[in-house]
């Protein structure tokens, strides 16, 4: 099974984002964290910045919306041309309708759950999504410690995806490093968001390769 590494530009230099995205050419996607200071207690950027990133990035954008009222706002990010748009289950009134709209526009549709949210109700809806994101920290800030107690949730998602026999990516986001990526891969994740583990490294391309190898060594 493929291992995908997606560096989070939350850990990049915001003044030089075009150059920062160019540095991670071997990554599978750029993870773009959109925060509204409402759904999470932090503010990053919105459609204008994502649109510019879309215009200059040589690799796909995986937009993670940590914003309220996903039903209203998520489709706009798909319209910008993002490869994938992930919204939070806690912020959507009708997650299936949002996912269908994203796909209709042309993006992959992802659904994310916070650490305290039960994933079980969404596992029956798996065919409606292209990606499940299990947060391994509380969303809102980079640099937090990995929550190993989320691994049973990852494992349950992997079992449901495999049982359904469908191609749904299983993503983890939060505290992913060389020390933790193996555990997440062992639990069944195949798509890994890493911020400081990539952008804090002396050589970002080596860091991406090391993370990919470490995850691959633990995949079943």
The domain segmentation of the chain, as residue ranges, is 4-218
What's the whole-number mean pLDDT along residues 94-98? 98
Strands 30-35 and 84-88: unpaired
- pLDDT tens string 116-128: 999 999 999 999 9
Mark whether 33 is an active-site residue. Answer: yes
What's the whole-number mean pLDDT along residues 130-152? 93
Mark whether 62 is an active-site residue. Answer: no
Q: Name the pTM for this structure.
A: 0.97
Strands 108-113 and 169-173: unpaired
Q: Is residue 1 pLDDT above 80, yes or no?
A: no
Q: Is residue 220 pLDDT above 80, yes or no?
A: no
Q: Is residue 144 pLDDT above 90, yes or no?
A: no
What's the whole-number mean pLDDT along residues 134-162? 94
What's the whole-number mean pLDDT along residues 131-144? 91
**In 3-state terms, what secondary structure has residue 124?**
coil
Q: What is the C-alpha to C-alpha distance for residues 29 and 4, in angstroms, rounded to an integer?
A: 8
Catalytic annotation, pick one of 62, 130, 173, 190: 173
Q: Which CATH class is domain 4-218?
A: alpha beta
Sheet holding 4-7, edge to edge: 4-7, 191-194, 169-173, 131-135, 108-113, 84-88, 61-66, 30-35
Catalytic annotation, pick one of 28, 33, 130, 210: 33
């Amino acid at each position: 099974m493929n291992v995908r590494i997606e560096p989070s530009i939350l850990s990049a230099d915001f003044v030089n984002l075009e150059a920062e995205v160019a540095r991670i050419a071997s990554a599978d996607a750029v993870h773009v964290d959109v925060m509204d200071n409402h759904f999470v207690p932090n503010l990053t950027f919105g459609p204008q910045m994502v649109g510019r990133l879309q215009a200059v990035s040589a690799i796909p954008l995986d937009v993670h919306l940590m914003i309220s009222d996903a039903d209203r706002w998520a489709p706009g990010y798909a319209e910008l041309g993002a490869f994938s748009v992930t919204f939070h289950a806690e912020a959507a009134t009708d997650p299936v309708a949002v996912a269908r709209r994203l796909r209709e526009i042309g993006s992959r549709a992802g659904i994310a759950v916070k650490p305290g949210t039960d994933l079980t109700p969404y596992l029956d809806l798996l065919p409606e999504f292209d990606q499940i994101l299990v947060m391994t920290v509380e969303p809102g800030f980079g640099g937090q410690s990995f929550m190993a107690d989320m691994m049973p949730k990852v494992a349950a998602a992997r079992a449901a995806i495999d049982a359904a026999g469908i191609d749904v990516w299983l993503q983890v986001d939060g505290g992913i490093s060389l020390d933790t990526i193996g555990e997440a891969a062992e639990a069944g994740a195949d798509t890994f968001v890493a911020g400081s583990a990539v952008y804090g490294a002396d050589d970002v391309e080596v860091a991406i390769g090391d993370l990919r190898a470490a995850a691959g060594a633990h995949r079943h």
